[in-house]
């Protein structure tokens, strides 16, 4: 199962519920900003509509994903103890993993921040009392600072870039959680297969040990042959203990991702078929540049830096102050008809400290240049990691075919021939034991190659940002390779 399909599997069959946040005001504010800029063209409206849909999608999809009934989660928990598929593990991790919940709340908090950054400053109210006998006894004033038109919108553009970064961070957390579950799944299946191979070969070696002791009594085998069979049996017993401990360690890691106690029981259904890779290396590079969360976060960082440049330029422009005041005249000094006076205030800030403003603009431009360099660095690092993981994945695929189609059949045939020759007194007991040892090692190597294929496939899809086992409408999707079974 590819990464994209597992993400979909994590939110399927869920019941929608109501959500209660401040998103409604955010959406209306974003739409209103675009409508006020209609004179600049419909493109601005379309951009804000796209941002509106992004925020709307957050609340719809996350409400769907997190509104599972308690009974559904209990059913998944029951599957984990009776027999779970990889899809069940991914769905359970998506719902209960605390890192995923934290990233989701961080995204939600960033969305709420839009109203904070695009709102007016708090109004100010003042009261003055004059104890000395003056013309007035007291004065009440209220005023409101109003940023230069367009400044709040530009501040909103900065927040929208941060919202996109928070969303991508959430996607990244979900992706890494799914990849971790998949890696543990394949590792545990390797251990399960290895334990089965150890058990079968331990029974066979126990039989060979008895045959060797009988042959030694009949002078058909040397004492060295008997000791060698016994030593290999002891090695198998050590392997069994080691695999048991490795299984507990890997289960503890998987339980941590599932937010369960370290020793909680986990049982799997039959191992799933490993899907074939349908993309060439160059195609994986292109997919990663388009879909990988880290690269897209770097692009969002560039957009944020450019928005901050535009916001910094508003520091050259003044802020306005509007206000009103009420003045109460002294009854002893002011006639009654002039005792109540109302005034209107207007003022503006004077941005005369140009050096400070230039510093803010240049700082924002430096952040933009830094973001551009970070994106290039991220692409280079991703390409290097993709090349490494792609090689390991293809090598694991070659090893699977080598052991499954050639070496294991040959080792099995050689073991049968060695046994026949030994029984017919044409071969030695040592040859019989050696062929059994080779057959055992080849079985473990095949199991290891299958697990590595699944792990490297998960890692490659993490680097690509999407599934690489299903075509996406390009050349890679039209090819079909023989998968690892």
Q: What is the pLDDT of residues 247-278, one digit of tens each?
A: 999 999 999 999 999 988 888 888 778 888 89
Q: Kind and range of the H or E element at 274? A: none
Q: Where does residue 449 fall: left (phi above 0), alpha (psi -120 to 50 degrees), or beta otherwise?
A: alpha
216 pLDDT higher than 70: no
The CATH number of the domain holding residue 307 is 1.20.1600.10
Structural domain includes residue 34: no
Structural domain includes residue 62: no
Least confident of 28-42, 156-170, 382-396: 28-42
Specify the pLDDT at position 219. 60
Q: Are 204 and 432 in contact (CB under 8 A)?
A: no
SS3 content of the chain, % helix, strand, coil (to 5): 70, 10, 20
Q: Kind and range of the H or E element at 307? A: helix 293-313
Structural domain includes residue 35: no
pTM score: 0.75
How distant, in Å, are the alpha carbons of 69, 262, 351, 362, 365 from that of 355?
Answer: 59, 59, 10, 11, 15
Per-residue confidence band for 70, with pLDDT thresholds at 50, 70 and 90: low
Structural domain includes residue 42: no
1 pLDDT higher than 60: no
If you search the block for the tokens 């259904």, which residue do you land on?
269
Q: Kind and range of the H or E element at 442? A: helix 429-464
pLDDT above 90 covers a percentage of the chain that reads 47
Specify the pLDDT at position 387. 95
The mean of the pLDDT values for the chain is 79
Per-residue confidence band for 35, with pLDDT thresholds at 50, 70 and 90: very low
Least confident of 17-26, 222-231, 359-368: 17-26
Specify the pLDDT at position 73. 82
Q: What are the beta bridge partners of residue 321? A: 145, 347
Structural domain includes residue 277: yes
Our count of domains for the chain comes to: 1
Q: Which domain holds residue 210?
A: 3-16+67-478
Structural domain includes residue 48: no
314 pLDDT higher than 50: yes
338 or 453, higher pLDDT: 453
What are 149-165's pLDDT values in tens digits? Answer: 999 999 999 999 999 99
Specify the pLDDT at position 184. 93
Specify the pLDDT at position 473. 40
Mean pLDDT value across residues 320-338: 78
Structural domain includes residue 54: no
Specify the pLDDT at position 214. 65
Q: Kind and range of the H or E element at 292? A: none
206 or 234, higher pLDDT: 234
The burial class, CB within 10 Å (0-12 / 13-18 / 19+), for 379 is: middle
Look at strands 136-146 and 320-329 and give their pairing: antiparallel
Structural domain includes residue 60: no
């Amino acid at each position: 199962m590819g990464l994209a399909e597992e993400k979909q599997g994590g939110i399927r069959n869920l019941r929608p519920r109501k959500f209660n946040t401040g998103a409604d005001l955010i959406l209306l504010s974003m739409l209103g900003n675009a409508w006020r800029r209609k004179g600049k063209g419909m493109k601005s409206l379309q951009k804000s509509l796209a941002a509106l849909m992004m925020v709307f999608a957050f609340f719809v999809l996350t409400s769907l994903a997190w509104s599972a009934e308690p009974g559904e989660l209990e059913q998944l928990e029951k599957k984990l103890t009776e027999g779970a598929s990889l899809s069940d593990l991914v769905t359970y991790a998506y719902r209960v993993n605390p890192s995923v919940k934290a990233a989701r709340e961080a995204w939600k908090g960033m969305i709420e921040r839009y109203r904070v950054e695009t709102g007016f400053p708090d109004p100010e109210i003042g009261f003055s009392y004059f104890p000395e006998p003056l013309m007035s006894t007291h004065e009440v004033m209220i005023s409101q600072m109003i940023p230069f038109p367009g400044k709040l919108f530009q501040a909103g553009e900065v927040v929208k870039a941060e919202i996109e970064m928070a969303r991508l961070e959430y996607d990244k957390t979900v992706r890494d959680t799914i990849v971790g579950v998949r890696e543990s799944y394949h590792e545990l299946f390797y251990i399960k297969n290895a334990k089965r191979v150890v058990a079968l070969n331990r029974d066979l070696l126990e039989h060979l040990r008895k045959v060797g002791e009988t042959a030694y009594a009949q002078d058909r085998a040397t004492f060295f042959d008997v000791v060698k069979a016994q030593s290999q049996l002891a090695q198998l017993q050590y392997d069994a203990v080691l695999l048991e401990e490795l299984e507990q360690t890997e289960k503890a890691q998987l339980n941590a991702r599932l937010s369960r106690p370290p020793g909680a029981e986990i049982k799997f259904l039959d191992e799933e078929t490993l899907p074939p890779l349908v993309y060439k290396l160059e195609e994986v590079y292109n997919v990663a540049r388009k879909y990988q969360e880290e690269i897209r976060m770097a692009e969002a960082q560039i957009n944020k830096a450019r928005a901050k440049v535009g916001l910094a330029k508003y520091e050259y422009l003044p802020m306005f102050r509007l206000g009103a005041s009420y003045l109460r005249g002294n009854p002893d000094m002011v006639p009654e008809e002039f005792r109540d006076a109302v005034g209107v205030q207007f003022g503006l800030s004077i941005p005369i400290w140009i050096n400070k403003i230039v510093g803010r603009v240049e700082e924002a431009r430096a952040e933009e240049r830094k973001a551009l360099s970070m994106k290039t660095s991220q692409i280079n690092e991703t390409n290097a990691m993709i090349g490494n993981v792609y090689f390991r994945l293809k090598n694991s695929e070659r090893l699977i075919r080598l052991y499954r189609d050639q070496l294991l059949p040959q080792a099995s045939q050689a073991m049968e021939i060695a046994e026949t020759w030994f029984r017919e007194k044409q071969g030695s007991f040592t040859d019989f034991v050696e062929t059994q040892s080779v057959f055992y090692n080849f079985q473990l190597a095949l199991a290891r190659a299958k697990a590595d294929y699944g792990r490297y496939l998960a890692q490659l899809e993490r680097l690509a940002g999407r599934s690489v086992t299903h075509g996406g409408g390009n050349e890679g999707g039209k090819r079909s390779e023989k998968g690892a079974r």
